[in-house]
Structure 1
Amino acid sequence: MLAEVHKQKRVEWARKHLNDRWDRTLFTDETAFQLFRNTVERWYKGKRPVRRIPKDRTKIMAWGGFCAKGKTSLFCFKQIMNAEFYVEILRTHAPEISQMLGSRWRFQQDNDPKHTSRLAKAFIEENFPQVLEWPSNSPDLNPIENLWSIIKSKVEKRMPKNLDDLENFMIEEWENIPESVLINFSYSMRRRCELIIENNGERIPY
């Protein structure tokens, strides 16, 4: 449940950005892809309920970014991310982002402490032309969450048998996302802003 202060800030943000041009905003985030996301049932004696236990918690993390004009390559990793590693990811992808968007674009990230560290802020301010401030506790505003959901569903249907399969499928499905999906998700931002305002800052069905 969102606190009132967060709802108010979400409404203020939505009003401020309602009429923005969203085609040159690069939406970014990282997410985890699980190997063997399905579960097994385990029965216990007596009348205790069935407990569902994950088969395997092995995972691969991924970072990516997209806009209406295209997407970055997908960066896959298994180590724990810290501020230094996050900056290295951004440094690695900065040339391809510049090639895709030129000098007039806006960088979006959430408020994860790694993203807002002094190290990350310094790199972003020096290398990216503009940063979009982001309201706290607002994954429903970020269209990359919808993109992750699509890719995870497609990867899961392919039933990867090991981590190599998982990583290969992640990259393939990321690369196969149609441009029309990227455009639609980018331009959904106006409607998201409208819904935030209409719902007084409450979470929206995205």
Structure 2
Amino acid sequence: MKYDEIAKATGASMRQVEYACNSPLTPRSDRRGRRPSEFTAEEKDRIARALNDDLIARKLKWEDLRWYLEGFDRFKDRAFITAMRNAGFQRKVPPRKIQLTARHRADRLAFCREQLALRPRPEDWENVAFSDETWATNSHIWKRWLTIHEAEDIEAWAAVRERPHGWMFWGMICGSEKAGSFVWEKHYGSINSEKYIRYICPLIHGFIMGKAAQGTPVVLQQDNASSHISYATRAHIASLGIETLTWPAKSPDLNPIENVWFWMKNWIEVNYNIQSLTPRTLRRAIEAAWAAVPCEWLRELTHSIPRRLQEVIEAEGRLIRY
């Protein structure tokens, strides 16, 4: 219910309703007996209006938000953070919002049932090469933290996107191996079928033929990006004698390399001051993160595929946590 609806139902004033909804049930104090800093009702309203009207305010860290909004210089950083929490605000990462139609769910269910029958054991997936691209930047794009009030729905902000300068990075894993990587050069422009065949397919072919020479046939997994499934790309990969795994649309939860991207981006954030990275140093950081990915962990990710398939079946084709 909105505040005015609560006031009408209870006979209380709007101020009483606001106080009851936003104040702790019991007085709180820190160890030194002082009450934590709190906003006035007018300050809460100003912050709420700023967050609703200005996406930049949503994205800013609270230490920076204090200076971005006028009239909050009476707070120190820690006091402002405490006041934000007391007022019901939180910093959260909006989830990736993937809309699944009935057709998508049906295709995912069919794929999971078929693959569980073909490859029921975790080790059966060690000869599947999982590949994908990711966009890495010198901002927190991979952790799109936003300020959300506890009464707001985080799903409503899932579509917030931005694309600052960065690098497109392609990678491939197979079992416990990092099977290939490639940083997309700026002068190549956007990825299309012709460029994918020229730059990426030789890396795929070299790895798979090398495994074949060792007596280990490998199946290639790609998602449904246009550069992957175009007629030219599919014809070229078939001409190389590479077997591909038909992949259901909108299924990042089934691809273990998505976990690798999360790991790499977190690793960069821990080991670098990412906002100070230049394009050149960011590229070196991406390559260092790829080199740091633990190989035994890659095997664990690969072995998780049967479990993921089963979870999708139990979820009737819906997305699962990954």
What TM-score, normalized to structure 1?
A: 0.86
Task: Give the deviation of 1:55 after TM superposition.
Answer: 10
Let me know the Cα RMSD of the aligned residues.
2.4
Q: Identify the residue that residue 85 of structure 1 maps to in structure 2.
A: 195
Cα offset, 1:135, TM superposition:
0.4
Instruction: Report if the CA contact (8 A) 1:34-1:58 is conserved.
Output: yes
Question: Who is 1:44 aligned against?
Answer: none
The within-5 A match list for 1:119-158 is 119-157=232-270, 158=272
1:16 paired to 2:114: yes
What corresponds to 2:167 in structure 1?
A: 60
Equivalent-residue separation in structure 1 for 2:241 and 2:297 (angstroms) = 25
Distance 1:11 1:35 in 2: 38
**Mapped partners of 1:128, 1:150: distance in 2:** 32
Deviates more, 1:120-129 or 1:59-68: 120-129
Any gaps of 5 or more consecutive residues in structure 2? 1-98, 147-160
SS in 2 for 1:89: helix
2:310 counterpart SS class: helix
State the 4+ residue runs in structure 1 displaced beyond 4 angstroms. 100-103
Please give the alpha-carbon distance, in whole angstroms, between the structure 2 residues aligned to 1:72 and 1:91.
Answer: 13
Query: In 2 relative to 1, CA 56–95 (structure 1 residues): closer, same or farther, beyond 3 Å?
Result: closer
* Higher RCO (CA-CA < 8 Å; seq separation 6+): 1
Asked if the contact 2:129–2:173 (Cα under 8 Å) also holds between the matched residues in 1, the reply is: yes
Secondary structure of the structure 1 residue equivalent to 2:273? coil
Check 1:128–1:204 CA distance in 2 against 1; reply closer, same or farther (3 A cut): farther
C-alpha deviation, 1:75, in angstroms: 0.4
Shift in Å, 1:188: 0.8
Equivalent residue for 2:293? 177
- Equivalent pair of 1:24/1:101 in contact (CA under 8 Å): no
| Structure 2 residue corresponding to 1:37, chosen from 123, 140, 145 | 140
**Which residue in the other structure is 1:201 paired with?**
317
Q: Which has the higher strand share?
A: 1
Distance 1:149 1:27 in 2: 15
Q: Distance in 1 between matches of 2:260 and 2:296?
A: 12
Q: Is the 8 A contact 2:211 2:218 kept in 1?
A: no
Aligned to 2:179: 72
Indicate how the Cα distance of structure 1 residues 176 and 69 shifts in structure 2: closer, same or farther if over 3 A, else same: same
**1:117 has 2:215 as partner:** no
- Equivalent residues, number: 195
* C-alpha distance in 2 between matches for 1:56 and 1:113: 20
Corresponding letter in the other structure for 1:67 = C
- C-alpha displacement at 1:65, in angstroms? 0.3
Q: Which is greater in Rg?
A: 2
Identity of aligned residues (%): 29
More helix by share: 2
Contact 1:26–1:65 under 8 Å retained in 2: yes
Amino acid aligned to 1:89: Y
For 1:173, the aligned partner's letter is A
Q: 2:268 aligned with 1:159, yes or no? A: no
SS of match in other structure, 2:140: coil
